[in-house]
Structure formats: C-alpha cells, structure tokens
Amino acid sequence: MLSNRELFYSFLAQTSEAPLALEIEHAEGIWLTGADGKKYLDLIAGTSVSNTGHRHPEVLKAIRTQLDRYLHLEVYGECIEAPQVKLAAKLASILPPSLSNTYLVNSGSEAVEGALKLAKRFTGRGEIVAFHNAYHGSTQGSLSVMGNDDLKVPFYPLLPGIKHITFNRADELEVITGNTAGVIIEPVQGEAGVISVTPEYVKALRNRCNETGALLIFDEVQTGFGRTGNMFAFEKYGIVPDILVLAKGLGGGMPIGAFISSMKIMQTLSRNPALGHITTFGGHPVCCAAALANLEVIINEKLAEQVEAKSALFRKMLAGHPAVKDYRSSGLMIAVELHSEKAAEETVQQCIKAGLITDWFLFNACSIRIAPPLIITENEIIYACNLLIRILDDIKQ
C-alpha cells in the first residue's frame, strides 16, 4: 500500500520541483495539524483565501444546510438558485451602484478571463493594457496580461493586442488610447512583493480611462474582502472601477470567483451572441452558500476594521530587525524583504520546521509573504513574530 506522500508524487501533477509537501490532517481557525500531529500556524491563509480562518463555523453551517437541498442543477444562469441570487444581492449591497451585476465563476483566473472578454465585447475594441510585474492567473488569457516574461515565454504565442506599462508611472498612461478596450490593474501588486498603487496615479489612470472610453478593471483577487483594511482596496482611493474581479477570500475556503460590473455593461455578454460567456460549475450552490456566510462573518465581526491595528503590530515587531532590508504592507498583505534570495528561502524553510507557514512571492524572491487569516489575534501575532524573529536572528544574510 502506497503512502499518501508516495501517491502525491506518483499520480498528482506537480506545480514545481519543490512543493511544500505537507500532509495536513485537520485545519481550524489559523492552525493546521499535520498527519503526524504537528501544528502549524498559517501565516498566509492558503494564499489570501481563508480570511475568516479555516472551517469557520458559520461557513460550515451554510455548507451543510445547502448539501441537504441540492448540488449542481444546470449550467450557470439557467435556473434560479437561491444561494447565487442571495450572494449577488449581498455583494451589490456593499458595492457602489455601478457595480451591481455579478457573474459568478470558479476561480480568479476565470474571473479575469471574463472581465477581459467583457471589456472587449462592450467597447468593440481589441487592445488590453496591463502592467509589468502584475499577476492575474495562469490560463492563456490571464497569462497574456501577466507582467513577467519568465512565466509567459514558454507558452507563446499568447493573446495579441496586449500592452504593458510601468506601475505608478503617469507618463506612460498615453499608451491608453481609443483602441484600448480595458486596463487591468491590481491596486496592490501581490506577487511583486506588495507594491501599492499611489492615490495620485490611480486617479490619473481613472481619468485617462474616462477620456479614452477604456474600461478600468480592478483585479482584487488578493486584496478583496478586508485584506487591506477596507472591504475592497479601491475604496481607499475614492474611485470606482468599471469591472471588479474577485475570488480567493470570497468563498471562505470554497472555490468561487466573480467579475462584477453594471447591468448595462454586463448585458452585452447575453446577446449577439447569447452565451457570450458560459460556465458549467460557476456559482456552484454550495460554494455560493459558503461565500454568503463568509461575507456575513467579515461584516458582522468587523474583521476589516481590525486589520490596520493588527498590521501595525506586525510592523512594530518585524520592521526594525537587522535582517529586514525593507518592509511593505497594505493591511494584512505584508512583504518582509531580506537581503538575499537565499536568506528568504532559508527563512521560509526554517519557519515550516518551527511550525510557521510563510511563503515567498513569484516576482520577488527576496521577500517573505505574510497574509494571515483576518481573525488572527494579538497574542497569535506576537507568538508568530517571536518565532520568526528567532529564525531571522540565525539566518546568514
């Protein structure tokens, strides 16, 4: 009989040559328990997914209730399914009026694909402007707007008509023209190592899109649902995107994504041709029930309102350490930059040995990722930081 580890390496397609390969038996709150009984404090929330923690009781209750009603009924959009419509209505209630029409999908990458199609369909244009060092997913369309060639070149040719500009460089906004269907931006570039857009730049970007008729697409797959201290990061800047892309923190641990716009814009996908965008499992009723419960937990427990104080405690404990070259954060989306890639890699590995799950970034290998569940307490932050400090004390720079 093969062990689960042997099955993992023998039959499951691998995403890298060095996966974490942790076998987790149980997850609860911010803690994971291995098959060997070892406990791990999750400092990355399944990569910005488990904002309300693992297996939140309200999320589990909603899942169990929906399991007794129905699972998949029909392809998305054909039946009136209570979990879908209630979730869409709840999202509309916390978003500006121009973001009131939700298309539910399975993941962030699929939501990006839908958003790109929607921008092209509504404007009748073919060009998309994206940003260097941006990450939007790994399907061919989302890969096309990614801003890192190392992950793209092996899969060329990708979508034509994609132009990349530099984040926070206002002099490059002239690339956006009357030929531009949409501009897709992360308000905080996650995989670049937590680089935030400046208020001046995002306002200039909004104005340029208004001038040219291009749709502004905000990819808030990582930043959404309280991660940055607001329910959505765009709220920090006093602007509203034309299309909002969500996933990760939406589902409370269940797979779901969404792209959201106005009814006027979104309706262009329903005619000429009908089924302009279609998904079989998008908006799965169990996932929607979980997402609605998850969203209500974030709102009712005021998790977003607690983020800045928790973020400040991380900064107070870690930013001044001599091993830390730079410290960047947007709420509980944190990059701790060390002096070398080797130091960061060793720190991540030593953290895992010590029972602390951290990670690095795709486009910034010198930085350590910290993005814990928003439910993390002050005592848990202090515990995690003290562990990390002891490890940093011993790391050779």
Considering the domain architecture, whether residues 349 and 338 belong to the same structural domain is answered as yes
| pLDDT 10s digits, 57-109 | 999 999 999 999 999 999 999 999 999 999 999 999 999 999 999 999 999 99
Tokens standing for residue 101: 């029409």
Whether the Cβ atoms of residue 323 and residue 344 lie closer than 8 Å to each other = no
Cβ neighbours of residue 380 closer than 8 Å, sequence gap 6 or more = 30, 41, 372
Distance of alpha carbon 300 from its chain centroid, rounded? Answer: 22
Same domain, 78 and 227: yes
Grouping H, G, I as helix, E, B as strand and the rest as coil, residue 113 is: helix
CA distance linking residue 238 with residue 235, whole number of Å: 6
Residues of the domain holding 369: 4-55+302-394
The secondary structure of residue 118, as a DSSP letter, is H
User: Same domain for 260 and 373?
Assistant: no
Q: Is 214 helix (H, G, I), strand (E, B) or coil?
A: coil
- The CATH number linked to 173 is 3.40.640.10
| Listed residue (84, 70, 53, 362) closest to 225, CA to CA | 53
Among candidate residues 300, 326, 349, the one where a domain is terminated: 300
Q: In terms of domains, do 247 and 285 share one? A: yes
Within 10 angstroms of residue 73's Cβ, the number of other Cβ atoms is: 11
Statement to judge: residues 215 and 315 lie in one domain: no
Does 97 share its domain with 44?
no
Number of domains in the chain: 2
Token pair 């899969």 is found at 155
Q: Of 265, 300, 335, which residue constitutes the final position of a domain?
A: 300
CATH number at residue 328: 3.90.1150.10
Torsion of CA 231, 232, 238, 243, to 10 degrees: -140
Residues 162-196 pLDDT 10s: 999 999 999 999 999 999 999 999 999 999 999 99
Its sign, for the CA torsion 15, 19, 24, 28, is negative
Q: How far is it, in rounded angstroms, from Cα 41 to Cα 376?
A: 10
Whether residues 123 and 65 share a domain: the answer is yes
Last residue of a domain, one of 241, 269, 300: 300
| pLDDT in single tens digits along all 397 residues of the chain | 899 999 999 999 998 888 888 999 999 999 999 999 999 999 999 999 999 999 999 999 999 999 999 999 999 999 999 999 999 999 999 999 999 999 999 999 999 999 999 999 999 999 999 999 999 999 999 999 999 999 999 999 999 999 999 999 999 999 999 999 999 999 999 999 999 999 999 999 999 999 999 999 999 999 999 999 999 999 999 999 999 999 999 999 999 999 999 999 999 999 989 999 999 999 999 999 999 999 999 999 999 999 999 999 999 999 999 999 999 999 999 999 999 999 999 999 999 999 999 999 999 999 999 999 999 999 999 999 999 999 999 886 6
User: Under a CB-based contact definition with an 8 Å cutoff, are residues 213 and 123 in contact?
Assistant: yes
One domain, residues 184 and 247: yes
Whether 161 and 18 map to the same domain: the answer is no
* Same domain for 309 and 291: no
Considering the domain architecture, whether residues 135 and 247 belong to the same structural domain is answered as: yes
State pTM to two decimals. 0.97
Residues 88 and 178 in one domain: yes
